Amino acid sequence: VSLTLTYFPVRGRAEVIRVMLKDQGAEFDEKVITMEMWKESTLKASCVSNPLFGQLPIFEDGDLTLYQTNAIRRHLARKLGLYGKDQREAALIDMMDEAIQDLLNKYIKLMFEKDDSGKEGYLKALPTDLKPFEKTLSGDKGSFLVGDKISLADYALVILLIHHQVLSPPCLHAFPSLQSYLKRLCARPNLHAYFHSDDFKNRPIIPGKRT
């Protein structure tokens, strides 16, 4: 069954999908849409009318076409066994993921601001957002956010932490559990290979801007 991701040539919202698939060794095709192609309205219009939300990424799994990054991620998580071992773990994974999305939305808002004026306030507030994850990971199990296997939520957190270290290299200094978590996950063979690849390194976080 073929998997195809359609997105801009950036990390953006789709990177977490790439990271999950790469780590799991799942092959997928990529269709790259440049901003010029996007503005030329046919593809955007077809997203709107068919059925949905006029946005990218689009993900195709055989004859199933999905929009909405998080719906795509959940679908892949169910397919690849990355959604916990039971219903309780699934609920906790959802909870962790929602909180990660909240932080991600703040980060994206900052990235798209016209200047750097919001950065200081953002970095001041960041420890409050990171603390719950530090606390979760400093429990006696602590290897993943939920349970003893990597999940949907871990992939989201890993890429978010990597991007925050780009934004502000010392941002994890006060969070030893997050540091060791990040180190551990980045040492996974497929992720290590992917994060060191030109494919990943040359793809900007967002279009154009400073990282």
- Least distance from C-beta 56 to another protein, angstroms? 14
- Least distance from C-beta 132 to another protein, angstroms? 5
- Least distance from C-beta 109 to another protein, angstroms? 11
The identity of residue 159, as a single letter, is I
Nearest CA-CA partner of 76 in 87, 91, 66: 66
Residues that bind another protein (CB under 8 A): 48-49, 51-54, 64, 66-68, 70-72, 74-75, 78-79, 86-88, 90-92, 94-95, 97-99, 102, 128, 132, 136
Nearer to another protein, 136 or 151 (CB): 136
Nearer to another protein, 36 or 86 (CB): 86
Contact 23, 150 (CB under 8 A): yes
Place of tokens 């593809």: 43
Compute the Cα dihedral for 45, 47, 48, 51 and give only its sign. positive
Nearer to another protein, 8 or 83 (CB): 83
Paired strand residues for 64:
61
- Least distance from C-beta 79 to another protein, angstroms? 7
Place of tokens 């003893």: 148
